[in-house]
């Protein structure tokens, strides 16, 4: 067996060990299996969120885009770099609080309980299941393709081995196995891409040398308008390219579930810092490698192979294999999260909600495991039988989910009067718009990116739909207020706070929560 194949096998074995390590802990309760007991700390939250968000697209589709269009692709990188920070800052604290107040274990259940509507859950489950599966198929396909090219295995075997490992550790270890392997894989991604980028820059004479070479080859590579200025003046396309990743993550169920599993609202601040550092170090690198590919690999037939080809060009086989574990890490860290979420939705939002409402916790864990296994096996079969292009499928699924769920998730915590009719209009309108825009290529006619078009319709649907239907109940308004967290004090009052009585204040606060009716002595 070749050394580089052995390295991949050891890597996969390590991931399996992590999954099996968490299998016992995950079996305690549905909360443990599906959300890790809501005890995930800041570093793990941040890095699992990033590695989940940044899929195989970052190592295959992203560099290919840069290879084809030059600096225009950096608009996607800018979105990627800011995505995690915006996601945590906008939704983090409020979604964490509200999901716990509502007792929701899945992001779709969360929407149903927030808007008190079974229809929201049905529509949400359908959209999420269809597109999460589409997304997972694309990831499995990427996993097979990457493993095939890196090991020389037959594609079918590459899918079965690579994806089989993901399915096993996700089924066994549940959410905790997913977030901890993601954490580990985020580090692998960073180290792998950083090493390749450093050597690549040495070869092209740094950023200045790279730009000089690009300019000499084709000046349009240096513009934000794409190769041959194909998107010249189309700000709708340029902005949409950034926005899709900058705010689109807030609509992905398998990403926003990270807010629900954080240890506390205090986790958000540190997690944002971790995200910010990680993103600035990582997000631009794959795209920069795509640009390096234009200069160093002008005859490359498959643009998606820019990073693997550069790795094998710069490093000996074993080292390249070690660094290219990063490609597998990116694909696997996204695949396991989507698989986990698809299984959660099938078990929690379909089985327990509509088939067996009284299922006990042990049965629910079993059903969750079987659902993930079912999703995994289906994914393997689809990836083996019908392999479409990775990039198209990911952007299609990503955009549709982003347009369907982003506005409802934001409205759930920022618009007290938001109701279920508005949410349904927003989900359906946003999703359908994205599908039509992508399928019929309306971007070419309108100059508007599908994500931006879907976002407009989703917002309009939310506002207009909200005029109809029942307003939220008073208890939901109270929960909404509570989820906003402690109020900010007026400035003049805040100036004179006595910090030395903070310990007493904490105790009194607890006392008041548990005995709200205390009257004390009137003076």
Partner 1 sequence: MNKIIYSENVRFDHHELKLVFEKTDANNLFHVNQLVFYPYYYFEYKLERKSLFHPKGGMIGCTIDGINGIGAIVNTFPCFEKQAIQTDAIIPGKIKSADAKVIAKKFVYDTISYKMKVFSPPPIILTMKEIFYRPYWIVEGGDIYLENKFMLTVDAVTGKYHPL
List the one residue from 299, 301, 386, 496 that touches partner 1 (CB under 8 A): 496
Q: Give the binding range for partner 1 (CB under 8 A) out of 2-10, 137-145, 165-173, 503-511.
A: 503-511
Q: How far is the CB of 395 from partner 1 (least distance, A)?
A: 42
Q: How far is the CB of 418 from partner 1 (least distance, A)?
A: 17
Report the C-alpha gap between 344 and 336 in whole angstroms.
12
Regarding 474 and contact with partner 1 (CB under 8 A), the answer is no
Regarding 482 and contact with partner 1 (CB under 8 A), the answer is no
Regarding 488 and contact with partner 1 (CB under 8 A), the answer is yes
Comparison of 298 and 486: residue with beta carbon closer to partner 1: 486
Q: How far is the CB of 439 from partner 1 (least distance, A)?
A: 45
Q: What is the 3-state secondary structure (H, E, C) of 368-402?
A: HHHHHHHHHHHHHHHHHHCCCCHHHHHHHHHHHHH
Q: How far is the CB of 488 from partner 1 (least distance, A)?
A: 7
Q: Which single residue is written with the structure tokens 């097979």?
A: 144
Identify the CA nearest to 217 among candidates 327, 138, 296.
296
Q: Give the binding range for partner 1 (CB under 8 A) out of 255-263, 351-359, 432-440, 502-510.
A: 502-510
Q: What is the DSSP string of 89-116?
A: HHHHHHHHHHHHHHT-SSHHHHHHHHHT
Comparison of 357 and 487: residue with beta carbon closer to partner 1: 487
250 neighbors 86 (Cβ within 8 angstroms) = yes
Structure tokens at 369: 């495991």
Report the C-alpha gap between 60 and 8 in whole angstroms.
18
Regarding 357 and contact with partner 1 (CB under 8 A), the answer is no
Report the C-alpha gap between 489 and 83 in whole angstroms.
30
Regarding 497 and contact with partner 1 (CB under 8 A), the answer is yes
Q: What is the DSSP string of 306-361?
A: HHHHHHHHHS-HHHHHHHHHHHHHHHHHHHHHHHHHHHHIIIIIIIIIII-TT--H
Q: Give the binding range for partner 1 (CB under 8 A) out of 141-149, 225-233, 433-441, 509-517.
A: 509-517
How far apart are the two ends of the chain, measured CA to CA in Å? 85
Question: 3-class DSSP state for residue 262?
Answer: strand
Q: How far is the CB of 489 from partner 1 (least distance, A)?
A: 5
Regarding 517 and contact with partner 1 (CB under 8 A), the answer is yes
Regarding 385 and contact with partner 1 (CB under 8 A), the answer is no
Q: Give the binding range for partner 1 (CB under 8 A) out of 88-96, 325-333, 418-426, 484-492.
A: 484-492
What is the footprint of partner 1 within residues 441-460 (CB under 8 A)? none
Report the C-alpha gap between 479 and 408 in whole angstroms.
17
**Contacting positions for partner 1 (CB under 8 A):** 486-490, 492-493, 496-505, 507-509, 511-512, 515, 517-523
């Amino acid at each position: 067996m070749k050394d580089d194949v052995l390295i991949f096998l050891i890597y996969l074995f390590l991931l399996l060990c992590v999954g099996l390590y968490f299998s016992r802990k995950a079996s305690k309760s549905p909360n443990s299996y599906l959300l890790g007991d809501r005890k995930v700390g800041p570093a793990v939250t941040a890095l699992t969120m990033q590695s989940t968000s940044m899929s195989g697209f970052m190592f295959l589709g992203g560099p290919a885009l840069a290879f084809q269009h030059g600096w225009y692709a950096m608009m996607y990188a800018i979105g990627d770099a800011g995505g995690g920070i915006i996601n945590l800052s906008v939704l983090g604290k409020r979604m964490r609080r509200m999901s716990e107040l509502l007792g929701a274990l899945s992001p779709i259940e969360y929407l149903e309980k927030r808007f008190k509507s079974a229809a929201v859950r049905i529509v949400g489950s359908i959209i999420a299941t269809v597109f999460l599966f589409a997304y997972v198929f694309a990831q499995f396909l990427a996993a097979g393709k990457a493993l095939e090219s890196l090991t020389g295995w037959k594609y079918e075997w590459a899918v079965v081995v690579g994806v089989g490992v993901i399915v096993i550790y996700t089924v066994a270890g549940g959410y905790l196995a997913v977030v901890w392997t993601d954490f580990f894989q985020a580090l692998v991604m960073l180290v792998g891409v950083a090493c390749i980028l450093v050597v690549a820059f040495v070869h092209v004479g740094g950023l200045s040398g790279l730009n000089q070479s690009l300019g000499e080859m084709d000046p349009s590579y240096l513009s934000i308008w794409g190769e041959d200025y194909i998107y010249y003046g189309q700000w709708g396309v340029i902005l949409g390219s950034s926005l899709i990743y900058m705010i689109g993550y807030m609509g992905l169920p398998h990403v926003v579930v990270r807010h629900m599993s954080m240890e506390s609202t205090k986790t958000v601040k540190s997690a944002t810092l971790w995200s910010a550092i990680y993103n600035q170090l990582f997000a631009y690198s794959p795209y920069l490698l795509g640009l390096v590919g234009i200069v160093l690999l002008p005859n490359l037939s498959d643009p998606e192979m820019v990073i693997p080809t550069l790795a094998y060009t710069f490093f000996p086989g074993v080292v390249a294999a070690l660094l290219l574990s990063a490609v597998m890490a990116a694909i696997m860290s996204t695949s396991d999260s989507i698989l986990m979420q698809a299984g959660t939705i099938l078990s929690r939002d379909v089985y327990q909600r509509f088939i067996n409402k009284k299922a006990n916790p042990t049965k629910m864990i079993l059903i969750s495991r079987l659902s993930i296994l079912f999703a995994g096996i289906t994914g393997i079969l689809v990836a083996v039988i019908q392999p479409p292009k990775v990039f198209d499928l990911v952007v299609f699924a990503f955009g549709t989910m982003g347009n369907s769920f982003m506005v409802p998730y934001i409205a759930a915590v920022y618009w007290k009067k938001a109701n279920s009719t508005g949410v349904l209009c927003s989900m359906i309108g946003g999703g359908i718009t994205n599908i039509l825009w992508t399928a019929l290529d309306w971007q070419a006619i309108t100059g508007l990116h599908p994500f931006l078009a879907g976002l407009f319709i989703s917002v309009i649907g939310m506002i207009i739909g909200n005029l109809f239907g029942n307003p939220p109940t008073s208890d939901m308004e109270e929960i909404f207020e509570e989820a906003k967290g402690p109020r900010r004090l007026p400035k003049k009052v805040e100036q004179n706070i006595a910090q030395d009585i903070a310990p007493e204040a904490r105790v009194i606060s607890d006392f008041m929560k548990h005995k709200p009716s205390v009257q004390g002595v009137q003076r």
